[in-house]
Amino acid sequence: MTSFSTKFQLAEGKVKKFNPSRYQHSVKIGEGSYGMVYKAFDSQQKKQVALKKVKLDDKDSKEGLPHYILREISIMSGTSSHKNIIKLQDIFWDEKGFILQMEYADKGDLLRLFTQADGKLSFTQIRNLFREILQGVQMTSSIQSLWYRAPEALLGNSFYSSAVDCWSLGIILHELIHKTPMYPGTCEIDTIIRIFRHQGTPQFDKILNIENYTYITKDFEIKFPKFESSKTFPNQRRDKVPENLLKIVSGMTTIDPMKRMSCQEALEILGEK
């Protein structure tokens, strides 16, 4: 480990030997596939930090820094200037593996915020959270979870455009408002049926570049149920949802990607800061 770490330090100029005496009151706060995360007080910075400890096995030690650590370091280094993304502060090594020191965001647990009390966020909180999501979407390469997948992706279009992200963001905004998924399908076809049952089955020949949708065939168009649009969801809040939020949900979840609301249009509706 020492010889490998020395080589990496010479190549990158970033990795230093970990000094555990620098940190106090270390408490485990999370665990993932590649390591454990601790909260600790950094005596040099005089503030709380997060330490992600990545343990390496013998194979990793012989072959070099694992690709998943390199990827994480690369992404976090490249996004360090964004105000809404956790900053990577330092990288250390010890005899067991590597330690990534990051800023500690004690109020950044959206799930906890979402589920506390009655689970309903105020519309001001929703607007602010969603504005931050819109401003950070260019930092992502894809959103592919089934419930948030755009209809063109569900129907086999492999071309990934910003419109795919916009669909996912509209679904997220609906969930922030109502605390329920918009189209919680069990598989691709169930999800697309839920979408069409709500919005109506589209006229496929009117959608631009429909030839790229590999799952759309003549049989599909003939046999697929012709749903009429219901266009409404029960308001599961006691308070009235602001029109600007409803407009964004509707615009960003338009089936035709060419007619879908963009992130910039949504930011203009919210009032970009």
pLDDT for the residue numbered 178: 86
17 marked as part of a ligand binding site: no
Under a CB-based contact definition with an 8 Å cutoff, are residues 101 and 49 in contact? yes
pLDDT for the residue numbered 54: 86
Q: What's the mean pLDDT in 237-256?
A: 90
Residue 164 host element (H or E):
helix 162-178
**Looking at the predicted structure, is the pLDDT value of residue 32 above 80?**
no
Q: How confident is the model over 105-147, as pLDDT tens digits?
A: 876 666 666 666 565 778 898 898 888 888 877 656 555 689 9
- The encoded tokens of residue 159 equal 């071309």
**Looking at the predicted structure, is the pLDDT value of residue 8 above 50?**
no
pLDDT averaged over every residue in the chain: 80
Q: What's the mean pLDDT in 57-66?
A: 61
Highest mean pLDDT among 75-89, 159-173, 221-235: 159-173
The DSSP output letter for 241 is P
| Weakest-pLDDT range from 18-27, 154-163, 190-199 | 154-163
**Looking at the predicted structure, is the pLDDT value of residue 176 above 70?**
yes
Domains and CATH numbers, the chain: 2-103 (3.30.200.20), 110-270 (1.10.510.10)
Question: Please, which residues have CB within 8 angstroms of residue 89's CB and are 6 or more apart in sequence?
Answer: 49, 101, 102, 103
pLDDT for the residue numbered 4: 43
Higher pLDDT among residues 208 and 162, named by residue: 162
